[in-house]
């Protein structure tokens, strides 16, 4: 087991420092000598442009100072930087510049410039949910002012209590053909270093190792960590979920309480990364790391999947039977092809044209007037589930709701899918189920009845643009449900649960509403 700790600079004091205002600058630099009123503002240069900065209760306001070059169009600067979106701040010393006289160039002074580095992010244009780390450097001549501003910003950021101090990071070194290690070292780790978050790094050695690691955590470590990050693919995140479920259902009340307080995160580094994609709207490792470092939190539904032999598995994306199960089973034998195996296995599976007879029973969810709404940041539908986070993950999916009304359908199916979140991917950026929510306690049960190869090809071709909500296809039925049971009849297919094969064919599943908290704020709207 490889264990590594990463720690970074942390604020010196969080209790005694008060928010102080900067003072007007003075000096011989005309770019910084603005004649400001004594209102606590401070003059800086930001990317070569003069600005007036001021601390407020919520952040830093930046006003560009008047200049003779105001008519020239330049890159846009931020007008306000919220403390809630600042990773950290630190001082830096910039190069020394020479200020001389035009007539006597040898007579001048050496002037050192000092900077306040504000580590934050910017939203990609047209994709507000895709975050890009950025450093804004406020430059001035007075070293004391730079130190004072850095200390004030650090104090304000440190007062945000939801931010993690210590995280357990589990990395799958084989995830995505080595992509997980790069995602951590190049994109995620620098962000946590800037944020001063202590990270305990563990690499997995074999399948289900992450589940074993989490389930074996002693209580004092569980109480030490603020969250667990899975750096890899969907399978690794699923294993961490399984470990958390084992802790919460193991009978030790203190361990269960500590595990329930942990927030989970997925730093994408696998082949599809549907979990991170669905939570953030992007497959960016830096975006996922920023959400964790800033302490974002939102509830997430978990689908407990049980098989006929008594084993179970947790899922946050989908469980599919038929076409997608056969595709995964075939692609496992083609791993030597890398990611190219998926389209090849998909084509072979499609032209085989197999369908499977099964008996499908489900519990329909209650009607909802907002069922066609899209899940976004500050989603009202998901916020209603804030008090549902004590779902009993130990309760068997079928036994827990025997008193409910079940509807049974028997027939030949090309595909059966139970989708619990939007399940976004590169092939379907808006998701398989575009109306699915992160924490509404529902799954979308998709039943594709026996059809021709061309008909099923049409269904697949519409998924990138329409998702599964294709009401005009008579052989496709979508039902919102809270539980489902599938019993194969005759020839059997394979179950694909979040990209992992299930060994048994008879399956039941139910949704545990808002079962865990994750490092996310949902998909931000471009508006």
What was the pLDDT predicted at 453?
94
Which DSSP state fits 426? S
In the listed set 261, 296, 331, which residue is the last one of a domain according to the structure?
296
Instruction: Please indicate, yes or no, whether residues 371 and 503 belong to a single structural domain of this protein.
Output: yes
Is the pLDDT confidence value at 102 over 90?
Answer: no
What was the pLDDT predicted at 142?
87
Q: Answer yes or no: is 192 within a domain.
A: yes
By the 8 A CB rule, do 347 and 331 touch?
no
In the listed set 126, 158, 190, which residue is the last one of a domain according to the structure?
158
Instruction: Please indicate, yes or no, whether residues 84 and 22 belong to a single structural domain of this protein.
Output: yes
Q: Answer yes or no: is 515 within a domain.
A: no
Is the pLDDT confidence value at 205 over 80?
Answer: yes
The CATH number of the domain where 431 resides is what?
A: 2.60.200.40
Residue 308 burial (CB count, 10 A): 11
Q: How does 46-58 read in b/e, with b if 16+ C-beta sit within 10 Å? A: beebbbbbebeee
Look at the chain and report how many structural domains it folds into.
3
What was the pLDDT predicted at 113?
82
400 Cβ contact partners less than 8 Å away, ≥ 6 residues apart: 392, 483, 510
Instruction: Please indicate, yes or no, whether residues 33 and 86 belong to a single structural domain of this protein.
Output: yes
User: How many Å apart are CA 239 and CA 254, to the nearest integer?
Assistant: 22
Residue 270 is encoded by which pair of tokens? 């696998």
Range 343-360 average pLDDT: 93
Find the domain containing 47 and state its range: 10-68+75-158
What's the whole-model pTM score? 0.85
Residues 108-164: tens digit of each pLDDT: 455 668 899 999 999 998 899 999 999 999 998 888 999 999 999 999 999 999 999
By the 8 A CB rule, do 326 and 354 touch?
yes
Instruction: Please indicate, yes or no, whether residues 87 and 109 belong to a single structural domain of this protein.
Output: yes
Instruction: Please indicate, yes or no, whether residues 315 and 182 belong to a single structural domain of this protein.
Output: no
Closest CA to 118 of 77, 166, 164, 60: 60
Phi/psi for 238 (5° steps) reads: -65, -40
What was the pLDDT predicted at 420?
94
The CATH number of the domain where 236 resides is what?
A: 3.40.50.10330
H-helix or E-strand spanning residue 116: strand 108-124
What was the pLDDT predicted at 498?
87
Instruction: Please indicate, yes or no, whether residues 492 and 345 belong to a single structural domain of this protein.
Output: yes
Q: Answer yes or no: is 318 within a domain.
A: yes
Q: Answer yes or no: is 517 within a domain.
A: no
Residues 298-317: tens digit of each pLDDT: 999 999 999 877 788 899 99
Q: Answer yes or no: is 523 within a domain.
A: no
Residue 153 burial (CB count, 10 A): 26
What was the pLDDT predicted at 41?
80
Question: What average pLDDT does the chain have?
Answer: 83
Helix/strand/coil for 183: helix
Q: Answer yes or no: is 1 within a domain.
A: no
User: How many Å apart are CA 275 and CA 92, to the nearest integer?
Assistant: 38
Residues 20-76: tens digit of each pLDDT: 443 333 333 443 433 333 455 888 989 888 899 999 999 999 998 766 554 455 667
Q: Answer yes or no: is 2 within a domain.
A: no
Range list of H helices, 183-307: 189-195, 209-215, 219-224, 234-248, 253-261, 274-280, 285-293
The CATH number of the domain where 147 resides is what?
A: 2.30.29.30
Q: How does 279-305 read in b/e, with b if 16+ C-beta sit within 10 Å? A: bbbbbbbbbbbbbbbbbbebbbbbbbb
**What distance, in Å, lies between the first and last C-alpha atoms of the chain?**
46
What was the pLDDT predicted at 431?
87
Residues 495-504: tens digit of each pLDDT: 999 888 888 8
In the listed set 106, 129, 158, which residue is the last one of a domain according to the structure?
158
Residues 366-420: tens digit of each pLDDT: 866 555 577 877 777 777 665 555 455 655 544 455 567 899 999 999 999 999 9
Q: Answer yes or no: is 521 within a domain.
A: no
Residues 166-199: tens digit of each pLDDT: 999 999 988 767 789 999 999 999 999 999 999 9
Instruction: Please indicate, yes or no, whether residues 284 and 344 belong to a single structural domain of this protein.
Output: no
Instruction: Please indicate, yes or no, whether residues 372 and 281 belong to a single structural domain of this protein.
Output: no
Is the pLDDT confidence value at 344 over 60?
Answer: yes
Is the pLDDT confidence value at 525 over 90?
Answer: no
Confidence of residue 223 (pLDDT cuts 50, 70, 90): very high
Instruction: Please indicate, yes or no, whether residues 364 and 464 belong to a single structural domain of this protein.
Output: yes
User: How many Å apart are CA 49 and CA 74, to the nearest integer?
Assistant: 9
User: How many Å apart are CA 244 and CA 316, to the nearest integer?
Assistant: 14
What was the pLDDT predicted at 371?
52
Residues 251-298: tens digit of each pLDDT: 889 999 999 999 999 999 988 899 999 999 999 999 999 999 999 999
Is the pLDDT confidence value at 513 over 60?
Answer: yes
Instruction: Please indicate, yes or no, whether residues 351 and 500 belong to a single structural domain of this protein.
Output: yes
521 Cβ contact partners less than 8 Å away, ≥ 6 residues apart: 291, 296, 297, 298, 377, 378
Is the pLDDT confidence value at 242 over 50?
Answer: yes
Residue 58 is encoded by which pair of tokens? 């919520």
Residues 468-512: tens digit of each pLDDT: 877 789 999 999 999 999 999 999 999 999 888 888 888 999 999
Give the alpha-carbon dihedral of 155, 160, 161, 164, to 10 degrees: -90
Instruction: Please indicate, yes or no, whether residues 348 and 334 belong to a single structural domain of this protein.
Output: yes
Residue 463 burial (CB count, 10 A): 17
User: How many Å apart are CA 209 and CA 172, to the nearest integer?
Assistant: 9
Confidence of residue 88 (pLDDT cuts 50, 70, 90): very high
Instruction: Please indicate, yes or no, whether residues 114 and 245 belong to a single structural domain of this protein.
Output: no
Confidence of residue 19 (pLDDT cuts 50, 70, 90): very low
What was the pLDDT predicted at 343?
86
């Amino acid at each position: 087991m490889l264990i590594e700790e990463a720690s970074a600079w942390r604020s010196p004091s969080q209790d005694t420092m008060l928010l102080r205002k900067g003072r007007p600058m003075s000096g011989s630099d005309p770019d910084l000598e603005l004649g400001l009123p004594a209102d606590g503002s401070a003059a800086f240069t930001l990317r070569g442009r003069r600005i007036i900065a001021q601390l407020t209760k919520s952040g830093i306001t930046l006003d560009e100072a008047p200049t003779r070059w105001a008519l020239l169009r330049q890159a846009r600067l931020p007008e306000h930087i919220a403390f809630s979106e600042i990773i950290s701040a630190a001082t830096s010393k910039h190069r020394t510049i020479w200020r001389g006289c035009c007539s006597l160039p040898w007579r001048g002074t050496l002037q050192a410039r000092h900077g306040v580095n504000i580590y934050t992010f910017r939203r990609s244009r047209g994709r507000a949910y895709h975050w890009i780390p950025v450093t804004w450097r406020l430059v001035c001549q007075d070293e004391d002012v730079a130190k004072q501003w850095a200390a004030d910003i650090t104090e304000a950021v440190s007062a945000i209590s939801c931010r993690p101090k210590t995280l357990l990071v589990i990395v799958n070194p084989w995830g995505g053909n080595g992509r997980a290690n790069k995602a951590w070292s190049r994109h995620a780790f620098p962000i946590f270093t800037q944020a001063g978050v202590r990270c305990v790094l563990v690499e997995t050695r074999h399948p289900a190792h992450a589940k074993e690691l989490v389930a074996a955590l002693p209580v004092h470590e569980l109480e030490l960590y603020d969250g667990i990050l899975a750096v890899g693919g969907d399978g690794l995140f699923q294993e961490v979920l399984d470990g958390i479920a084992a802790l919460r259902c193991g009978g030790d009340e203190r361990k269960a309480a500590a595990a329930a307080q942990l927030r989970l995160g997925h730093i994408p580094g696998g082949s599809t990364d549907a979990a991170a994609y669905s939570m953030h709207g992007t497959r960016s490792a830096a975006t996922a790391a920023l959400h964790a470092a800033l302490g974002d939190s939102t509830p997430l539904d978990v689908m407990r999947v049980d098989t006929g032999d008594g084993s179970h598995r947790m899922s946050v994306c989908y469980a599919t039977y038929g076409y997608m199960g056969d595709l995964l089973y075939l692609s496992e034998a083609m791993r030597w092809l890398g990611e190219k195996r998926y389209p090849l296995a998909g084509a072979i599976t499609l032209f085989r044209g197999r369908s499977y007879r099964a008996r499908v029973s489900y519990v329909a969810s209650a009607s909802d007037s907002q069922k066609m709404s899209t899940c976004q940041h500050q989603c009202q539908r998901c916020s209603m589930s804030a008090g549902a986070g004590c779902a009993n993950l130990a309760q068997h999916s079928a036994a827990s709701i025997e008193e409910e009304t079940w509807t049974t359908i028997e027939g030949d199916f090309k595909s059966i899918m139970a989708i619990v979140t939007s399940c976004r991917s590169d092939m379907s950026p808006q998701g398989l189920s575009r109306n699915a929510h992160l924490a509404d306690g529902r799954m979308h049960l998709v039943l594709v009845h026996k059809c021709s190869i061309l008909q099923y090809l049409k269904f697949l071709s519409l998924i990138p643009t329409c998702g599964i909500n294709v009401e005009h296809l008579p052989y496709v039925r979508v039902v919102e449900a809270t539980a489902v049971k599938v019993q194969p009849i005759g020839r059997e297919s394979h179950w694909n649960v979040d990209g992992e094969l299930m060994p048994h064919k008879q399956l039941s599943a139910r949704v545990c509403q808002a079962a865990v908290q994750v490092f996310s704020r949902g998909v931000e709207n471009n508006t």
